[in-house]
Amino acid sequence: MVKINRNYLKLKAGYLFPEISRRVSAFSEAQPNASLIRLGIGDVTEPLPEACCQAMKDAIEEMGSSSGFHGYGPEQGYLWLREAIAKNDFQSRGCQISADEIFVSDGSKCDSSNILDILGEGNRIAVTDPVYPVYVDSNVMSGRTGEADQLGQYDGLTYLPLNSENCFEAELPREPVDLIYLCFPNNPTGAVASKEHLEKWVDYANKNNALILFDAAYEAFIQDPLLPHSIFEIDGARDCAIEFRSFSKKAGFTGTRCAYTVIPRSLKGLAANGTEVDLWTLWNRRQSTKFNGVSYIVQRGAEAVYSLSGQSQTEKLVSFYMENASIIRKELSSVGYKVFGGEHAPYVWVKAPKGQGSWQFFDFLLQNANVVGTPGSGFGTAGEGFFRLSAFNTRENVEEAMRRIISL
Ligand code: MLT
């Protein structure tokens, strides 16, 4: 019989969101008339920006004509999209990122997992706690950790706790690490990083020859113009960081699929024989072998995000979700909940009341308010006692969910 990847057996239960779906399905079967409001998984609800739809319709017309048909595209993405990204997302903010350092893909979840393909197995890895579960699970699946302990923490990972005392900003690791996952604005806590905080990490990484994997999927939700959107706004980051970005949340592409990863040409890793190797070259090789690019139609849709109308439409989308976040913060605070995040991120991190555990509060809200959130403990041990509410929903649903919760 075929042998399986034994690392999968180390994984704790199901991936968080399928586990939530399982509990919600069981509840819905038992109470088919309950009207559920889902503020759990961060999935967008509002329609795609008109500019993106129009660009994709035009691209379909083109593909249906002999002169406009496209077969396989470049694995790295079409140059016109990479140029628009480099100019609008980086050069306009003073970052020296060029189009050829951008690799267009179908998602940051995939990229932040697949990046392990080009990294060696002996790296010491740091993750925050709580953390976006994909960073941990992809390391477990690829055999880079030992077993989980009783708390669910994997042997071989360095956990950096995030809590209200450190304002949800991790302290630098006490033991040496080679690979550091950072996510700002943060999923799940909704915290945002100042320039000084990122400088601290870039400085650490350069001094310790470490690599930062910087997930900036939620950068568009930053409201304060002085806060950095990219790690490449920090001097020295080109020598120590890879950044992941996504069109999913800012332009409603969760079902359309388009994202990108930035790998500076100057970034190096170490081969077993001690020579330095370009990470760009390895990722380019990996993508050319295992990936056939994002569809032409979708890349045209993503390009339209940078048109004048696309920019104003995506700004409206982002503002809409941020108003939802502000309603959640305001309503919950008004009845005494302790809330964090939600000011520069579409997630509000709520302290479960009366010392309840995360899953206990999840079940309580599901049963009594028919509102679905995400238990903080699903993101790590230090998330126990917290609960994440997503601002991605209709205004009506967010207001109704708040009415239900505050009346409990
Ligand atoms: C979340 O809810 O944390 C996100 O939807 C996950 C993701 O983007 O993959």
What confidence tens digit (pLDDT) does each residue in 61-104 have?
999 999 999 999 999 999 999 999 999 999 999 999 999 999 99
**For the chain, what is the domain count?**
2
pLDDT digits (tens, 9 = 90+) for 18-51: 778 889 999 999 999 999 999 998 999 999 999 9
Q: Are residues 43 and 118 in the same domain?
A: no
Q: Are residues 317 and 356 in the same domain?
A: yes
Candidates 44, 112, 137, 187: which one to mutate for ligand 1, based on the most atoms within 8 Å of Cβ? 187
Asked if residue 161 lies in contact with residue 189, where contact means CB atoms within 8 angstroms, the answer is no
Asked if residue 1 belongs to a domain, the reply is: no
Q: What is the pLDDT of residue 286?
A: 98
What is the mean predicted confidence (pLDDT) over 271-275? 96
Candidates 16, 21, 41, 256: which one to mutate for ligand 1, based on the most atoms within 8 Å of Cβ? 41
Task: Answer yes or no: pTM beyond 0.95.
Answer: yes
Which residues, at least 6 apart from 333, have a Cβ–Cβ distance to it below 8 Å? Answer: 339
Q: Are residues 96 and 158 in the same domain?
A: yes
Boundaries of domain holding 97: 53-306
Q: What is the pLDDT of residue 150?
A: 87
Average pLDDT across the chain, whole number: 97
Assigned token pair, 324:
């939802």
> Ligand 1 atom closest to Cα of 188?
3
CATH code of 107's domain: 3.40.640.10
The Cα–Cα gap between 359 and 377 comes to 8
At residue 15, does pLDDT exceed 70?
A: no
* pLDDT level of residue 279 (50, 70, 90 thresholds): very high
**Which of these three, 252, 283, 306, is where a domain ends?**
306
Q: Are residues 73 and 150 in the same domain?
A: yes
Residues with CB under 6 A from ligand 1: 41-43, 109, 187
Which residues, at least 6 apart from 71, have a Cβ–Cβ distance to it below 8 Å? Answer: none
The alpha carbon of 43 and the centre of ligand 1 are apart by a number of angstroms equal to 7
Q: Are residues 154 and 285 in the same domain?
A: yes
Q: What is the pLDDT of residue 16?
A: 79
Q: Are residues 90 and 200 in the same domain?
A: yes
The Cα–Cα gap between 132 and 113 comes to 11
At residue 114, does pLDDT exceed 80?
A: yes
What is the mean predicted confidence (pLDDT) over 382-397? 97
The alpha carbon of 397 and the centre of ligand 1 are apart by a number of angstroms equal to 19
Candidates 38, 39, 43: which one to mutate for ligand 1, based on the most atoms within 8 Å of Cβ? 43
